[in-house]
Amino acid sequence: MAKSIRKLVAIGLVFGLMITLGAGTAQAAKKKSSIEIPKANKATFMLMPELPKDNIGGSQLGYFNLHLKTNQVKTVHIKVYNPTEHTINIYGQAKDATTNDNASVDYLGSHQNDRQLLKQPGSQLVSVPKKTELPAGETKRIAIKIKSNQGFKGTKATAINLSADQFNQKSAVKNAYRYAIGLILNGKTVKKQDYRYLQSPSIKTRLTKAKKPAISVKLNNPDPMYLEKTTIKIKLQNQKWQFIQYAKTIKNGKVAPNTSFYVDLLLGGKRLVPGTYTMTLTTQNSHYKKTLHKNVLITASQAKYINGLNAAYLRNRNWILGGMAVILIIIGGVIVRAYRVRKRKRDLHAKNGE
């Protein structure tokens, strides 16, 4: 038993801090306290997925990657260990993977899924114990049950989220720890003739989370499959003024199945000009290469809104207006001076009777 725990601790040190998910990295979220917790109380639970023999890709992946047939029931386990001196409660949830803006995958359920794209979420096929009490120094196996009543095509990307609250007895500070372990469910293969390809239903202007002004192009992945090693190129070209264009390229992105996200075309110090644009969207990924052309309209109100929030553009505009004002003043001064010189000459000629 002691040997088993030592092995679990060693592996848990790796899996507990970062769990590899799909072709990406799992995210561990920790809510930090303003009060420093003594080192002895900082440790949280450790975990290790017990990967079955039929795990696609083998046991080196560090996440569940399972084939699921119609009406098939599977049970997998995650081993958890409590290295602290206090009992902790581990809370479990199944979450559907989503895609972050600018093409990276989130497994912690940070965003809402578009139910028009994901009509049958994989999380609905998964049962996870809502609460597991784990005494100090003990190891338990959490059972995850998966059942598919109906067959499905492609991939359902989910993750098992395990979290725990831990108190520091001296200061009554509570930290929340959350870990995600990928649970990828694979159904029937999606045939190439059934691909619907990456689509763009709309655009909008906004400030990004980093407070940068952008034209944000919404993209939908309607296909039940990961788009990995993805290059996305977007160009908007004004149909009236050909020299006005905005562009963005994403390399090595990753898009979760049946999800939507935005690609931000940052404006920087540029002014957004309203009008009709030709949008060219080129996508190349592990499954296909596709180019889409469509007309999009940027309204005067959209342009006015984002230009008013674009500090870099406003600063540049003020410099330009200031520079033009200085030039006009100089030109005006030259004209006035020239006029006065000519007037003096005329007056002199008139005085001399010429």
Q: Give the pLDDT score at 105.
A: 95
Q: What is the pLDDT of residues 301-317, one digit of tens each?
A: 999 999 988 876 656 55
Q: What is the pLDDT of residues 131-168, one digit of tens each?
A: 999 999 999 999 999 998 888 999 999 999 999 876 55
Give residue 229's pLDDT band: very low, low, confident or very high (50, 70, 90). very high
Q: Give the pLDDT score at 60.
A: 80
Taking the C-alpha atoms of residue 210 and residue 121, their distance in angstroms, rounded to an integer, is 30
Average pLDDT value for residue range 269-284: 95
Closest CA to 223 of 304, 285, 292, 155: 155
Taking the C-alpha atoms of residue 267 and residue 281, their distance in angstroms, rounded to an integer, is 18
Environment class of 185 (CB within 10 Å of its CB; exposed 0-12, middle 13-18, buried 19+)? buried
Q: What is the pTM of this model?
A: 0.76
Q: 45 is written with which tokens? A: 């639970």
Compute the radius of gyration of the chain from its Cα atoms.
Answer: 30
Give residue 318's pLDDT band: very low, low, confident or very high (50, 70, 90). low
DSSP three-state, residue 264: strand
Q: What is the pLDDT of residues 5-46, one digit of tens each?
A: 444 434 443 333 333 333 333 333 333 322 332 333 444 789
- Report CA torsion sign: 196, 202, 203, 204: negative
Q: Which CA distances in Å does 100 have to 107, 149, 286?
A: 10, 30, 19
Q: Which CA distances in Å does 80 have to 25, 139, 210?
A: 20, 6, 37
The pLDDT mean for the chain works out to: 82
Q: Name 161's Cβ contacts closer than 8 Å, sequence gap at least 6.
A: 92, 93, 94, 95, 107, 108, 109, 178, 179, 180
The side-by-side arrangement of strands in the sheet containing 126-127 is 46-50, 73-81, 139-147, 126-127
Place of tokens 């720890």: 177
Average pLDDT value for residue range 57-64: 86
Q: Picking from 1-5, 34-38, 184-188, 231-235, which range would have the lowest pLDDT averaged per residue?
A: 34-38
DSSP three-state, residue 162: strand
